[in-house]
Amino acid sequence: MSRQHQQIHLAAHFPGVNNTTVWTDPRSRSQIDFDSFEHLARTAERGLFDFFFLAEGLRLREHNGRIHDLDVVGRPESITVLNALAAVTERLGLAATVNATFNEPYELARRLASLDHLSGGRAAWNVVTSSDAFTGENFRRGGFLDRADRYTRAAEFVATARELWDSWTPDGTSRPFAHTGGHFTIDGEFGVERSPQGHPVVIQAGDSDEGREFAASAADIIFTRHGSPAAGRAFYADVKRRLARYGRAPEELKIMPGVTLVLGDTAADAQEKAAEIRLQQVSPQTALLTLEQIWGVDLSGYDPDGPLPDIDPDPDSQLTQGRVRHGDPLAVAAKWRALSEEKGLSIRQTVIEANGRQSFIGTPAAVAAQMTEFVAADAADGFILVPHLTPGGLDDFVDRVVPLLQERGVFRTAYSGTTLRDHLGLPYPGERG
């Protein structure tokens, strides 16, 4: 197979509870009504996508001791939505983000096996590891898990779930299981027959060294933030290199960055739309709040259209809760100040500039070419597309870009199998003896 024809995998991410999602647009619909989920899932299936993806957060985000109110807030529980979507789709994979800290293997393995049965082999689980005490306040055990242990628990959780899934033979015989480990000591019988995929597909979304190692040892897909060609290539090489240690081949782990895109009739039209969307994503209030998340202090007295604050960030601030914090605040603040001074940008303009552009901007032909090139250059195996509008944000992509990817021979023209493992070309797990 020539490098130009490396196949692309595609997934549809339901718009999240962050400012990528534009809710002020008149086309924006409910983030909670089933209609919205059905629309996006049907669009993804029409586009022959590999899977549909739902994120999760187990506590509403807070800022300065109050519930964050500037972005979309509130969403339904993933696995239940996906079971319902299994009724209105036939081939599309169905991926739920579910936390490994505030769940237990028996119950979750059972729920995922049930989804796999009810969807005819289309279930996937994005294993996330948030373990903070803030989120723990909603659960029986509170913030019981040390951050350093988040991946040892996740790894043992996934291994245990697979032991449970393997406890039924393919011909329908249940055998007792017993697991003894640092995090779980359980035994008995698993109450769900082996499901069509044997093991639902496992996705990992975390970027630390431990996260990458866990993915190399146990995941089928990595959902990553490295959506630029350069960062993508480095990440791809790093993670694929780790696979040999676990006796795995490079094709057994798919790298799929989360990406955004803007289509236009001309390159200039697309750029113009992209700028407009960035302005919608960063309202004056969001600009100040984004700055507060880095500075860690109240900046409500500042003018979003004025210059950046000259005070220094508080690196130990607890101002923001329930959100993953990126990078060293002092370094980020220095970078943003430099950016603002160099280009003469206000607070809002700086935030827009620093938050970066959409991953793919251009005509359908240009976007199809960029995506093909991205994958051919070993920067990814495919993409998790994050639309900015609910629920119609991928309509154009499916209508205008998918046919071009198909023409290029880099994307399927029909589903060739029925399960998500089939779509991804992943092996079926061998049964344990």
Ligand X SMILES: Cc1cc2nc3c(=O)[nH]c(=O)nc-3n(C[C@H](O)[C@H](O)[C@H](O)COP(=O)(O)O)c2cc1C
State the residues that interact with ligand X by CB under 6 A: 55-57, 97, 99, 128-130, 205-208, 211, 223-225, 258, 324
List the single partner that 357 binds among ligand X, another protein, none, CB under 5 to 8 Å by kind: none
Considering beta carbons, is residue 205 or 398 the nearer one to ligand X?
205
List the single partner that 184 binds among another protein, ligand X, none, CB under 5 to 8 Å by kind: another protein
With binding defined as CB under 8 A, does residue 355 bind another protein?
no
Considering beta carbons, is residue 136 or 211 the nearer one to ligand X?
211
Considering beta carbons, is residue 41 or 299 the nearer one to ligand X?
41
Considering beta carbons, is residue 19 or 224 the nearer one to another protein?
19
List the single partner that 130 binds among another protein, ligand X, none, CB under 5 to 8 Å by kind: ligand X
List the single partner that 3 binds among another protein, ligand X, none, CB under 5 to 8 Å by kind: none
Q: Which of 7, 46, 64, 84 binds another protein (CB under 8 A)?
A: 84
Q: List, in order, residues 6 or more apart from 385 with CB less than 8 Å away.
A: 10, 11, 12, 13, 259, 260, 261, 394, 397
Backbone angles phi, psi at 270, to 5 degrees: -65, -45
List the single partner that 208 binds among another protein, ligand X, none, CB under 5 to 8 Å by kind: ligand X
CA nearest neighbour of 389 among 277, 247, 292, 222: 277
With binding defined as CB under 8 A, does residue 139 bind another protein?
yes
CA atoms within 13 A on the CB side of 346: 12
Backbone angles phi, psi at 203, to 5 degrees: -110, 145
Percentage helix, strand, coil for the chain under 3-state DSSP, each rounded to 5: 40, 15, 45
| Angle value at C-alpha 223, between 371 and 4, nearest 5 degrees | 25
Residue 95 tokens, joined: 């991926």
Considering beta carbons, is residue 20 or 286 the nearer one to ligand X?
20
With binding defined as CB under 8 A, does residue 69 bind another protein?
yes
**Cα Rg, the chain, nearest whole Å:** 22
Minimum CB separation of residue 258 from another protein in Å reads 21
